[in-house]
Amino acid sequence: MTPKIQSVRGMNDILPDEAEFWDMFEETIRSWLKSYGYRPIRLPIVEPTPLFKRAIGEVTDIVEKEMYSFVDSLNGEALTLRPEGTAGCVRAVIQHSLLAQQPQRLYYLGQMFRHERPQKGRYRQFHQVGVEAFGFSGPDIDAEQILMGARLWDDLGLDGISLQLNTLGQPAERAQHRAELIAYFEQHRELLDEDGRRRLYSNPLRILDTKNPDLQQLIAAAPRLTDHLGAESLAHFEGVQQALRDAGQTFTINPRLVRGLDYYNLTVFEWVTDRLGAQGTVCAGGRYDGLLQQLGGRAAPACGFAMGVERLITLIREAGGETRAAAVDVYLVHQGTNASRLAARVAEGLRDRGIDVLFHCGGGSFKTQMKKADASGASFAVIIGDDEADAGEVTLKPLRTTGDRPNQQKRVGVDVVADEIMNSILDRDDS
């Protein structure tokens, strides 16, 4: 027997029932983003590897351990499946001069790839919604993006998601803090784990973000960045907090929140839950004012965030949210040569009126087709045999009980069947 080929571990198929729910979820996302004036941008899945090394930082887990990188066999170019979306979005903004005329609010939705251990809500191919704003320097855009999350949780019927907030200041301020951190951890080098010792001189700020329980007491006593912040950084952070307080949004300031990417400055935030195990972050982001210049563009302020789609869908399911899309309106049953020809025309006519139709294919008796009609979840069966075809009529049969009214079938003319269905749908919705 020929062996079956399975999908790559951590890269999952999304089957029809689930994919329909994903479609509904994405419609909610697009409507939510449009309500804030964000516009879609579609980006390549493959980007030049140097883009991520320059943007994310070479001494990060993503670049060192997690990227799917390869060399193009035709031209020797180093390429990478995108591990995150911000770098590619910034590259596109620079390449196409999108900031030449006005600031931009953009979003994207799609697959990302990281080679890590698959776990609940976290896979090697995963999906993110990315939201980026370019050309806005004040704390108001930071607060807007944070509050957007609060509105989405409400739209999705989710609770138990809390907000953590911090500031990373500006590069010069972080440099002073970095020097203090190195000096501090050098004094306690014997207590650091392997990752900590490796990052001590290359990226000591990331030591603060470790999940190693043995290091928590050491980290709690480490120098804090807030002690090095200047007046402008403090004012920006206070502006964000004030806007959140004005909106009634609660938050916790977490001085150890540093994010995993090197390009952040000033505001960073995470929306977290305790319902997804150790990996509890469902949305994270912040400001990255230096990244456009770092990637070869003109300096411009920028702020954004990303959300893991798989994690959000897991939360929706656990909260009892609807996980299946609504069925079609009509299942069209037909038997006989003339009936089948008429049925095809009737189906298109119903679709012209905005009625969803599942057209039976593959033949079979009326009894067999009606079983499939009932199993389809459709609200109505439209039945056409040669008798109906000769009379220019169809049999309309309700398949679902509506209030106290019985499911009575009736013959109606082809030219009025759409009106009958539309009226029945309106009556059902009003009942």
Same domain (yes/no): 129, 163 = yes
Please report whether residue 201 resides in a domain.
Answer: no
The boundaries of the domain holding residue 369 are: 330-423
Same domain (yes/no): 310, 341 = no
Least confident of 47-51, 138-142, 243-247, 427-431: 427-431
Residue 327 · residue 399 · CB < 8 Å: no
Same domain (yes/no): 337, 388 = yes
Please report whether residue 261 resides in a domain.
Answer: yes
Same domain (yes/no): 284, 137 = yes
Of 296, 318, 340, the residue at which a domain comes to its end is 318
Element (H, E) at 113: strand 104-113
Please report whether residue 195 resides in a domain.
Answer: no
Of 289, 318, 347, the residue at which a domain comes to its end is 318
Q: How confident is the model at residue 320 (pLDDT cuts 50, 70, 90)?
A: confident
Q: What is the CATH number of the domain that holds 238?
A: 3.30.930.10
Q: What is the mean pLDDT of residues 207-232?
A: 85
User: What is the gyration radius of the CA atoms in the chain, in angstroms?
Assistant: 28
Element (H, E) at 83: none
Same domain (yes/no): 313, 335 = no
Same domain (yes/no): 303, 336 = no
For residue 258, the model assigns a pLDDT of 74
State the total domains in the chain: 2
Please report whether residue 415 resides in a domain.
Answer: yes
Please report whether residue 63 resides in a domain.
Answer: yes
Of 318, 347, 374, the residue at which a domain comes to its end is 318
For residue 403, the model assigns a pLDDT of 54
**Rounded Cα gap, residues 128 and 307, in angstroms:** 5
Strand partners, 333: 383
Question: Which has more confidence, 140 or 188?
Answer: 140
Please report whether residue 177 resides in a domain.
Answer: no
